[in-house]
Amino acid sequence: MYVLSNKYFSSLLQQFFWVARAGTGKSTLLKAIVNQTCTKGDSAGEKKNREFSNLYLLNVDRKDSQVYKKTFPYVKTISFESLPDTNRKSCIVVEDIIHITKKEEVKLRNAINYQAHHKIQKIICASHAIYKNQIYSLLAFFNFVIFTSAISNVPTIRNVFNYFKVEPEQAQKWLLEYKKQGRGKHGIYFFFDCEKMSFNVSHLMLFKQIKLIGILGSPSTGSDAEIGESNKESQRKQMQLQFDKFVSSFKLKCEAGAIFSIIINCIDPAIVRPHDLTVVFFADKNKRSKKLVSIVDYISCLLNCHEIPSPSFLVLHRFMQSFCYIPKIFILNKYLKKENAIKKTG
């Protein structure tokens, strides 16, 4: 178990997804999240300043809009079509997104996956449900998925666990902890950290008195070897989700996903940097110079018929071949398709 301070959340660029039933404290916490994450500074003598002075509201009712206007200098109500036109360093609140069209889902996906990072924005979404609608496909793009402690959320939480491939036995243990620690009380919230693949509880309103319930794939008991292998499997699942995010708009994303799955299950995930999926190679024998090679770009090269592989890709290709076999149907690059391509080039 561990406790995290507010700075853990306020210092990161976050996309929050907030799931709650009506009358369970959704509005109260939503306003607190906006106030907390769209400011910088802390309560320890440093004055809070608005880091994100622009606030955009989508599907927010008039009453809540008036509350936001009292605390932000610029508040504007927008539509899904207007998401690409929002300013840099802005906060965007999207409520009641249970019923959105495919076109609107694409706009929201682009905002969360691309726009939030390049425009330094924070996007906070709220919905009463996620399953069998357009929202379900967006879960991997958020940093946190937050739940109230209402017992009626159990089916929704189970769907979230299924989405992130939490094993049934572990999911059941987490749900038991949810029922035990939550008990429908106001002020107690649970959240799934999509980056660390962990399930957590906040016992005091907004991310205070936080305790870890569990990490995906980590057993509570077992030998060191079993725990180590379980941690590797957890790393692989996180990287697969990260890769899927990177190639979400790639034309051959299914083929790319299959190749990455083969690679990440053959090599030790510890050699891959999880945030950008690169492998570190030493450029000389003395290990004084490092070179980063992107697995994402390498796979893109494999699927490009005419791209001439760079020396770095040839090194990575040779490395991959020593650990796993990539089926020929996935190697579309005419240079890498040749059996002796590496020998002739290198």
Characterize the bridge pairing of strands 54-58 and 74-77: parallel
Average pLDDT over residues 302-330: 87
The domain locations on the chain are 7-215, 224-345
Residue 166, token pair as written in the block: 């939490």
Does the 7-215 domain belong in CATH 3.40.250.10? no
229 vs 336, higher pLDDT: 336
Q: Which residue has the higher pLDDT, 96 or 242?
A: 242
DSSP state, residue 271: G
The label of the residue with tokens 């980056």 reads 195
Query: What pLDDT sits at residue 256?
Result: 93
Q: Which of 201, 216, 212, 32 is nearest to 126 (CA)?
A: 32
What's the residue count for the chain? 346
pLDDT at 39: 62
- What local confidence, expressed as pLDDT, does residue 19 receive? 57
Q: What is the pLDDT of residues 254-269, one digit of tens each?
A: 999 999 999 988 888 8
Q: Quote the longest CA-to-CA distance of the chain.
A: 70
Q: What pLDDT score does 292 carry?
A: 85
Helix, strand or coil for residue 31? helix
What is residue 46's predicted lDDT score, i.e. its pLDDT?
44
Q: pTM score, two decimals?
A: 0.60
Nearest CA to 92 out of 110, 73, 77 is that of 77
Q: At what angle do helices 224-246 and 253-266 cross, to 10 degrees?
A: 160
**pLDDT at res. 70:** 85
pLDDT tens, residue by residue, 224-245:
454 456 667 778 888 888 898 8
Residue of higher predicted confidence among 7 and 214: 214
Per-residue pLDDT at 42 exceeds 80:
no
Residue % of the chain over a pLDDT of 90: 17
Report the alpha-carbon distance of residue 279 to residue 264 in Å, rounded: 11
Buried b (16+ CB within 10 A) or exposed e, 150-179: beebeebbbbbbebbebeeebbebbbebbe
| pLDDT tens per residue across span 143-171 | 888 888 888 889 989 999 988 888 888 99
Which pLDDT belongs to residue 289? Answer: 64
The mean per-residue pLDDT over the stretch 25-44 comes to: 66
Residue with tokens 């995290």: 4
**pLDDT of 26 over the 70 cut:** no
Rounded Cα distance, 170 and 9, in Å: 26
Tell me phi and psi for residue 237, to 5 degrees.
-65, -40
